[in-house]
């Protein structure tokens, strides 16, 4: 495929990089206390990685293959924009920057309401269903503005969904068991379009019903592969995060028990355990037993 420039993507990526640089070098030093870092090394790593992945997923050749050739690559692109890039950007955002952007007034109240379990789940799954509707997919291929609008909706709904899991505002995060239940819910609805694509015997999207698929695929096999990508990669990614959250919850639970003086193997306070040294001290302090009377 010949190279096709996408200056709108370059402007977006460079704009985000410029805003980040301005925030951490100009605003951050005046927004945090002297003993707090403006940005940590891990946050910088998350931001650079997220920005590179956003660029790769949105620019040539991924964008052009996804729009003009293979729907399976389109699915890879949307999976990255919904499950991978948004949490990376959230992990890269310092709390002070998030509070500066959101504020403490109406914007904060709206965000707090939108990131609760039910609204966030409805928004994320509604966008997932709508963006796989044949009329929407076919229209986005023909209309670049609609295509980028769909990408914007995918990213924004994903940010709302991921905010209670790894967002920069601690008070908006769910407790770890609730985070696991929340992510489990997000793995259920995508099974419907994934199964629909995987088991369809005819072409679902007319825009991809052509003979110039890459990798030697036909249109039906390509959309079946897209369903597999959506189901397998999406589910494995979400379940991987659930497993990591479960491990973190177990470690925090054991840490709390140790802080209370509870032994994990016995689940009994260490102060109530009887040791051999204590037995010896009690025996030494005990009075001697009375002598038995002699028998006649």
Q: What is the pLDDT of residues 264-289, one digit of tens each?
A: 555 545 555 556 666 566 666 666 65
DSSP category for residue 216: G
The one-character DSSP state at 295 is P
- Which residue stretches of 93-233 are H helix? 95-102, 106-114, 117-130, 134-142, 144-166, 176-186, 191-199, 219-228
Cα 56 to Cα 77: distance, rounded to the nearest angstrom: 9
Query: Tokens 């940005």 sit at which residue?
Result: 39
Please compute Rg for the chain using Cα positions. 28
Q: What pLDDT is stored for residue 279 in this prediction? A: 59
140 in helix, strand or coil?
helix
Question: Residue 192: its pLDDT value, please?
Answer: 85
Q: Is residue 282 part of a domain?
A: no
- Is the C-alpha dihedral spanning 123, 128, 132, 138 positive or negative? positive
Lookup result for tokens 């249109």:
219
Instruction: Kindly state the tokens that stand for 154.
Output: 């995918």
Judge whether 180 lies within some domain: yes
Dig out the tokens for 42 from the structure. 């891990």
pLDDT per residue as tens digits for the range 90-113 = 999 999 999 999 998 999 999 999
Inform me whether the pLDDT recorded for 291 exceeds 80. Answer: no
The predicted pLDDT at position 49 comes to 98
pLDDT at residue 33, as a whole number: 86
CA angle, 207 then 213 then 214, to 5° = 140
Cα–Cα distance between 277 and 15 in angstroms, integer? 68
- Distance between CA atoms of 28 and 180, rounded to whole angstroms? 33
Label residues 74-97 b or e (16+ Cβ within 10 Å = b).
bbbbbbbbbbbbbbbbbbbbbebb
Is 76 contained in some domain?
Answer: yes
- pLDDT tens-digit profile of 112-167? 999 999 999 999 999 999 999 999 999 999 898 899 999 999 999 999 999 999 99
Q: Which two tokens stand for residue 43?
A: 């946050």
Let me know: does 134 contact 200? Beta carbons within 8 Å.
no
Q: Tell me if 192 is assigned to some domain.
A: yes
Q: What is the pLDDT of residue 177?
A: 95
Residue range 3-51, pLDDT digits in tens: 999 999 999 999 999 999 999 999 999 989 888 899 999 999 999 999 9
Give me the number of domains the chain comprises. 1
What is the domain range of residue 193? 7-259
**So what's the pLDDT on residue 204?**
92
Give the per-residue pLDDT at 126.
Answer: 95
Note whether residue 173 is domain-resident: yes
Tell me if 246 sits within 8 A of 180, measured CB to CB: yes
Which residue did the predictor score with more confidence, 200 or 99? Answer: 99
In a domain, 285, yes or no: no
Please state, in angstroms and rounded to a whole number, the distance separating the CA atoms of residues 87 and 155: 10
Residue 15 lies in a domain: yes
Cα–Cα distance for residue pair 147/158, rounded to 1 Å? 17
Confirm if 29 and 38 have CB atoms less than 8 A apart. Answer: yes
pLDDT at 253: 83
| CA nearest to 175, candidates 183, 185, 165 | 165
Question: Over 80: is that where the pLDDT of 258 sits?
Answer: no
Would residue 146 count as lying in a domain? yes
């Amino acid at each position: 495929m010949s190279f096709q420039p996408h200056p709108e993507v370059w402007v977006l990526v460079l704009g985000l990089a410029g805003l980040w640089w301005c925030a951490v070098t100009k605003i951050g030093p005046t927004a945090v206390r002297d003993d707090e870092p403006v940005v940590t090394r891990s946050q910088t790593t998350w931001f650079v990685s997220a920005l590179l992945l956003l660029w790769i997923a949105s620019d040539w050749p991924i964008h052009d293959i996804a729009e003009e050739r293979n729907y399976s690559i389109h699915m890879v692109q949307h999976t990255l924009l919904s499950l991978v890039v948004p949490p990376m950007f959230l992990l890269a955002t310092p709390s002070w920057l998030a509070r500066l952007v959101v504020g403490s007034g109406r914007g904060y109240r709206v965000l707090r309401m939108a990131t609760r379990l039910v609204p966030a789940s409805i928004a994320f799954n509604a966008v997932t269903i709508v963006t796989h509707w044949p009329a929407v997919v076919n229209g986005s291929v023909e209309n670049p503005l609609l295509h980028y609008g769909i990408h914007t909706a995918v990213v924004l709904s994903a940010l709302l969904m991921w905010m209670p899991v790894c967002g920069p505002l601690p008070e908006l995060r769910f407790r770890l068991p609730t985070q696991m239940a929340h992510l489990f819910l997000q793995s259920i609805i995508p099974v419907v379009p994934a199964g629909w694509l995987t088991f369809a015997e005819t072409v679902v999207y007319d825009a991809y019903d052509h003979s110039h698929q890459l990798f030697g695929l036909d249109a039906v096999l390509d959309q079946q592969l897209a369903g597999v990508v959506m189901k397998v990669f999406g589910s494995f990614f979400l379940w991987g995060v659930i497993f990591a959250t479960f491990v973190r919850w177990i470690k925090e639970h054991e840490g709390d028990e140790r802080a209370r003086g509870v032994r994990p193997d016995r689940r009994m306070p260490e102060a109530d355990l009887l040791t051999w040294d204590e037995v010896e001290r009690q025996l030494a302090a005990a009075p001697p037993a009375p002598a038995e009377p002699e028998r006649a």
